[in-house]
């Protein structure tokens, strides 16, 4: 079975937020809910300065704090690597929100802690989720990390990659090209 991962080339991101809006549109998210966000980091001082832009979304951690704290297993890890969510089972205790070191979850109108699910209906069809397919700079590349011949593995082999807050032991499934 495929186990999905995401490789992000943040160097190419120019901060247009299309990922976030496309995602909200595709998943019919309410106004307050966003699965994608960007972090902006200013480095240096004028005129020798640059700006890093880091796209962030649920890391689908292999050791996900949100899965660990969910008392009803509303949030759970699927075999394909995706951290999924069954809204019916969610008590709205928000423990997952408090637990997530990436601030990746968002409360909806029904007071349930929604999350990015990596559009499994697209991924399993071999398509890119909308945050990736609409990105003009091709910042994101989703793929099967278990398949040595997948595009993502080929690209990962060409670059040095890192993960965010891996020191927390979360084992995130998103990799960033250094």
CB of 99 to another protein, least distance (A): 5
- Tell me whether residue 82 or residue 174 sits nearer to another protein (CB atom): 174
Phi, psi of 22 (to 5 degrees): -60, -40
- Tell me whether residue 79 or residue 148 sits nearer to another protein (CB atom): 79
- Tell me whether residue 111 or residue 178 sits nearer to another protein (CB atom): 111
CB of 149 to another protein, least distance (A): 22
Between the CA atoms of 133, 136, 137 and 141, what dihedral angle is there, to the nearest 10 degrees? 0
CB of 1 to another protein, least distance (A): 22
CB of 4 to another protein, least distance (A): 21
- Give the residue carrying structure tokens 């994608």: 36
Determine the Cα–Cα distance for residues 131 and 6; give it in Å rounded to an integer.
11
Closest-CA residue to 74 (of 96, 53, 89, 63): 89
CB of 127 to another protein, least distance (A): 11
- Tell me whether residue 2 or residue 99 sits nearer to another protein (CB atom): 99
- Tell me whether residue 15 or residue 126 sits nearer to another protein (CB atom): 15
| Contact in structure between 146 and 3 (CB atoms under 8 Å) | yes
Residues in Cβ contact with 56 at an 8 Å cutoff, skipping those fewer than 6 apart: 36, 37, 38, 39, 102, 103, 104, 164
């Amino acid at each position: 079975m495929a186990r999905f991962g995401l490789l992000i080339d943040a160097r190419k991101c120019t901060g247009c937020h299309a990922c976030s809006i496309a995602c909200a549109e595709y998943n019919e998210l309410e106004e307050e809910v966003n699965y994608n966000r960007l972090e902006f980091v200013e480095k240096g001082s004028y005129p020798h300065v640059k700006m890093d832009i880091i796209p962030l979304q649920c890391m689908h951690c292999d050791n996900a704090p949100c899965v660990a704290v969910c008392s009803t297993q509303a949030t759970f890890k699927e075999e394909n690597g995706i951290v999924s969510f069954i809204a019916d089972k969610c008590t709205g205790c928000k423990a997952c929100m408090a637990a997530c070191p990436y601030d990746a979850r968002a409360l909806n109108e029904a007071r349930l802690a929604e999350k990015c699910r990596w559009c499994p209906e697209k991924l399993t069809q071999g398509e890119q989720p909308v945050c990736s397919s609409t990105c003009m700079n091709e910042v994101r590349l989703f793929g099967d990390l278990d398949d040595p011949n997948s595009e993502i593995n080929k690209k990962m082999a060409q670059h040095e990659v890192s993960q965010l807050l891996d020191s927390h032991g979360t084992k995130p499934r998103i990799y960033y090209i250094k």
